Amino acid sequence: MWVVPETEIAGLMTPEAAFDAVEAVFASMAKGDARNFPVVREAIGYEDALYGFKGGFDKAALNLGLKAGGYWPNNQKHGLINHQSTVFLFDPDTGRLAAAVGGNLLTALRTAAASAVSIRHLAPRGAKVLGMIGAGHQSAFQMRAAARLGGFEKVIGWNPHPEMLTRLAETAADLDLPFEAVELDRLGADADVIISITSAFSPLLMDGHVTGRTHIAAMGTDTRGKQELDPALVGRARLFTDEVAQSVSIGEFQHAAAQKAISESDVIAIGRVIIGDHEGRGDAEVTIFDGTGVGLQDLAVAGSVVQRAIEAGIAIDVPI
Ligand code: NAD
């Protein structure tokens, strides 16, 4: 089996490669070539940790496996980040373990790639202002992946904890984009594209905040109970997601669905837009992409990184 340690990922995986891998796997899902397996996520009753597995099989790319890991809230005392994960790939011909790949940076890159894919396919034409809600670890990756698409001339941002906004300001400066901290009503009115990536459990962006043609990538809600958007905003938007069943159960659309403001049939898999089976934004004023995070995304970027690591002579061959 090949081992690609976490420390090597930064030198191997680019946002461009992550974008291509995630766009391809969303397309495979829409064609019926790739399938996510049911997610396992459990409180283990030790160190307050949440642990689980996200797996699947992509018959087109021949990626079979799972990401194992979760959230350890007390990791600071070990000098580690709280989210910890490893991706395991298996040979689909034999079932033998094929690779173990550090999953921490890959998770950030694949999550940012998902919102970037949604922006590429759904943003209003001529989008110039990027609005960021959230200033945690993921937010910098999100901004970088969106900026890479081109066209943005300015970033505006808001965070429930204003002292964290320096991360957004520094990332924008690094990207040579002007940054301004604003209130949510300004953000909703001025931004053409909004990325929300917080750990919120109640709505932050309200229906009244958002005016004009806007695309929203709602990336923070990946668990039952989390929420970033007003269900009334969800109710008037055209809705897209990575995996429809996840969006209405653990994703942002769970709340509008629970209130019967939308139903599962209102939600369109983004892969359908990618393969030309759905028009995408059309004449919708507001589009929302609910990025719930699927195991196939992890397998796609891990598969790509293993190939790169083998080619670069960095992958470690371990007999099993
Ligand atoms: P982080 O801990 O580094 O930052 C947390 C962010 O949420 C900050 O902006 C903080 O101000 C805000 N926040 C914290 N508590 C809050 C509360 N009670 N109410 C409102 N806002 C609050 O986290 P991160 O690594 O940047 O991750 C952000 C979110 O993205 C998390 O919810 C995480 O689970 C989620 N996530 C989703 C995916 C996906 O595929 N959709 C992947 C990775 C992470």
The pTM score is 0.96
Whole-number Å distance between alpha carbons of 198 and 227: 9
Same domain, 90 and 165: no
The number of angstroms, rounded, from the C-alpha of 133 to the middle of its chain's C-alpha atoms is: 14
C-alpha separations of 241 from 205, 270, 293 in Å: 18, 6, 10
Longest Cα–Cα distance of the chain, Å, equals 59
Q: Are residues 103 and 139 in the same domain?
A: no
Same domain, 142 and 275: yes
Q: Is residue 94 situated within a structural domain?
A: yes
* Residue 119 covered by a domain: no
Q: Which domain holds residue 73?
A: 2-107+296-317
User: pLDDT category, 189, cuts 50, 70, 90?
Assistant: very high
Q: Are residues 302 and 260 in the same domain?
A: no
Mean pLDDT value of segment 31-54: 95
**pLDDT by residue (tens digit) across 307-319?**
999 999 999 999 9
Note the pLDDT of residue 51.
Answer: 96
94 and 158 in a single domain? The answer is: no
According to the model, what pLDDT value does residue 195 have? 99
**Which of 26, 84, 106, 198 for mutating ligand 1's site (highest number of atoms within 8 Å of CB)?**
198
Ligand 1 midpoint to CA 73 (Å): 13
CATH code for position 181 = 3.40.50.720
Q: What is the pLDDT of residue 68?
A: 98
- Do 20 and 147 reside in the same domain of the chain? no
β-pair partners for 317: 2
291, 242 Cβ separation under 8 angstroms = yes
Task: Tell me how many domains the chain contains.
Answer: 2
Convert the pLDDT of each residue in 81-92 to its tens digit: 999 999 999 999
| Residue 29 pLDDT level (bands cut at 50, 70, 90) | very high
In a domain, 35, yes or no: yes
What is the Å distance from ligand 1's center to 220 Cα?
6
CB proximity list for 291: less than 8 A, separation 6 or greater: 111, 114, 115, 118, 217, 218, 219, 241, 242, 251
The CATH number of residue 95's host domain is: 3.30.1780.10
Residues 250 and 231 in one domain: yes
**Residue 158 three-state SS:** strand
If asked whether residues 160 and 250 sit together in one domain, one would say: yes
160 shares a domain with 80? no
Residues 138 and 280 in one domain: yes
Minimal-distance CA residue to ligand 1 atom 44: 220
Same domain, 46 and 188: no
Q: What pLDDT digit, counting tens, does each position of 285-297 carry? A: 999 999 999 999 9
User: With a 6 A CB cut-off, is 199 part of the ligand 1 pocket?
Assistant: yes
